[in-house]
């Protein structure tokens, strides 16, 4: 997809960054307050990772572990928030969108596992992983559902609540595409 054909303002943002650290602007809003807040939080994570790992130095373990936990929460809570609303509204591109979420979740899970097993260098990929996710998913895939979702159709409970496994698995919902595998544990 040519991003500039979809939203010239978003294309301009990408060009302005020159592939560097992504920067949030109001043109990236999907028109749903709580999702915009989730996305802005993700941009802040990217910034933080750039600071603590961007120069190739290993940061202190506690900080990396915190970031990994926040990312884990994001993958569960934010993806569920988007997917439950997209599924409910019959969004045609839901299968591809959810498949992208799964791929990111599995990649992150592998990094977390390696890190927990003692491979501290596994964290070095995080700045690139998170920035790529912003450029390839949030700025391309997420902006496409702008107009489909509203503040009224999206669950606005806090991420930490959604990530606390109080939410039902979407894979058990009627209409959930069987082609999408469940995320890795």
Applying CB under 5 A, does 47 fall inside the site for Fe ion? no
Backbone angles phi, psi at 146, to 5 degrees: -60, 130
Q: Which of 62, 65, 36 is nearest to 126 (CA)?
A: 65
* Residue 56 CB, nearest approach to Fe ion (Å): 29
- Note whether 3 and 142 are within 8 A (CB): no
* Residue 65 CB, nearest approach to Fe ion (Å): 23
Build a one-symbol-per-residue string for 95-134: x at contacts with Fe ion by CB under 5 A, - elsewhere.
----------------------------------------
CA distance linking residue 17 with residue 69, whole number of Å? 28
Binding Fe ion (rule: CB under 5 A), the pick from 142, 162, 163, 180 is 142
Q: Which residue is nearest to Fe ion (CB)?
A: 142
For binding to Fe ion (CB under 5 A), which residues are involved? 82, 142
């Amino acid at each position: 997809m040519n991003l500039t054909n979809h939203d010239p303002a978003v294309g301009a943002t990408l060009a302005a960054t020159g592939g560097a650290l992504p920067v949030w602007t109001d043109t990236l809003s999907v028109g749903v307050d709580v999702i915009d807040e989730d996305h802005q939080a993700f941009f802040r994570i990217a910034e933080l990772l750039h600071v603590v790992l961007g120069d190739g130095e290993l940061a202190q373990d506690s900080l990396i572990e915190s970031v990994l936990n926040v990312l884990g929460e994001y993958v569960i809570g934010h993806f569920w928030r988007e997917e439950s609303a997209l599924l409910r509204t019959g969004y045609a591109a839901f299968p591809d969108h959810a498949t992208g979420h799964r791929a990111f979740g599995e990649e992150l899970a592998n990094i977390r596992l390696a890190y927990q097993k003692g491979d501290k260098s596994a964290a070095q990929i995080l700045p690139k992983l998170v920035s790529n996710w912003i450029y390839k998913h949030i700025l391309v895939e997420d902006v496409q559902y702008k107009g489909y979702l509203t503040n009224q159709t999206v669950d606005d409970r806090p991420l930490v609540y959604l990530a606390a496994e109080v939410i039902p698995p979407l894979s058990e919902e009627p209409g959930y595409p069987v082609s999408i595998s469940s995320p890795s544990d």
